[in-house]
Amino acid sequence: MNKPLYLALDFPDAEKTFDFLKENELTNIPVKVGMQLFYREGPMLIEKLKVEGYSIFLDLKLHDIPNTVKESMKNLSGLGVELINVHAAGGKRMMEAAREGLEAGTIPGQQRPYLIGVTQLTSTDETMLHEELGIQWGLNETIIHYAKLSQIAGADGVVCSVHEVPLIKEACGSSFMTVTPGIRFQSDTTDDQKRVATPGLARKLGSDAIVMGRSITRAPHPKQAYQQAIKEWNHE
């Protein structure tokens, strides 16, 4: 089976989102709903996407005290999304609570959403890590630490950049999922992303899923860009 490419639906509202998907005939594909769209449209949008056959990565990156995360995950779990995430920086107990909430909220007979810990955002580089976040470890060391912590806490995988995938697989095992945003075509601008890679490199380095937004949604021909990404990711 092909590994998923989650198309990041970073649009202002549901109308613009569905217009884009329909105009470009992007049906029954994996999509990622993030804060921008979810905060505007809420759970109804998830229901609507599911009815239309999309599988969903709900990218809300929860980060709060354990009890709040647990109770929030109970509510989100019932939405029936495929993946959901938290910031690993929230700590072991918070991630354990996230998993407990997901298990408690899963509707009997439905698959529990996979829990994914965000190691370090792909917009973070080594300088920012040291100078702004005050973390003195190297970037790779920090990311491996957060990946191991996520695994110990019961997460099913992590968000990281493509470049850290081999290290995480070595540290956490090949079945621990790596979900990688920061994906760009060779000729693209990187925008606010710092740790970027092409879909082809993601495949070579063993990512389990990639996330792609602006390189497709802002392309002159989004459908062609999507097909090109799928080709590089799965078949090149």
Where do contacts with ligand LLZGTKA7 occur on this chain (CB under 6 A)? 8, 10, 34, 59, 118, 121-122, 159, 181-183, 191, 193, 211-215
Residue 64: active-site member = yes
Residue 208: active-site member = no
- For the bound state, the minimum distance from the C-beta of residue 191 to ligand LLZGTKA7, rounded and expressed in Å, comes to 6
- Binding-site positions: 10, 32, 59-68, 122, 184, 193, 213-214
Dihedral of CA atoms 95, 34, 30, 200 in degrees, nearest 10, equals -90
- For the bound state, the minimum distance from the C-beta of residue 109 to ligand LLZGTKA7, rounded and expressed in Å, comes to 30
DSSP-derived secondary structure letter, 4: P
- For the bound state, the minimum distance from the C-beta of residue 131 to ligand LLZGTKA7, rounded and expressed in Å, comes to 19
- For the bound state, the minimum distance from the C-beta of residue 181 to ligand LLZGTKA7, rounded and expressed in Å, comes to 3
Residue 61: active-site member = yes
The whole-angstrom separation of Cα 27 and Cα 175 is 28
The whole-angstrom separation of Cα 209 and Cα 204 is 12
- For the bound state, the minimum distance from the C-beta of residue 204 to ligand LLZGTKA7, rounded and expressed in Å, comes to 19
Map 85-118 to HEC letters: EEEHHHCHHHHHHHHHHHHHHCCCCCCCCEEEEE
Q: Which is nearer to ligand LLZGTKA7, 29 or 74 (CB)?
A: 29
Catalytic residue among 48, 64, 74, 204: 64
Q: Which is nearer to ligand LLZGTKA7, 69 or 183 (CB)?
A: 183
Q: Which residues, 6 or more positions from 84, have their beta carbon under 8 angstroms from its beta carbon?
A: 57, 58, 60, 73, 76, 77, 102, 113, 114, 115, 116
The whole-angstrom separation of Cα 89 and Cα 92 is 9
Q: How far is CA 98 from CA 37, 65, 147, in A?
A: 22, 10, 16
> Nearest-CB residue to ligand LLZGTKA7?
213
Q: Which is nearer to ligand LLZGTKA7, 151 or 193 (CB)?
A: 193
DSSP-derived secondary structure letter, 163: G
First-to-last C-alpha distance (Å) of the chain: 15
Q: Which is nearer to ligand LLZGTKA7, 110 or 218 (CB)?
A: 218
Q: Which is nearer to ligand LLZGTKA7, 77 or 193 (CB)?
A: 193
Q: Which residues are catalytic, by number? A: 59, 61, 64
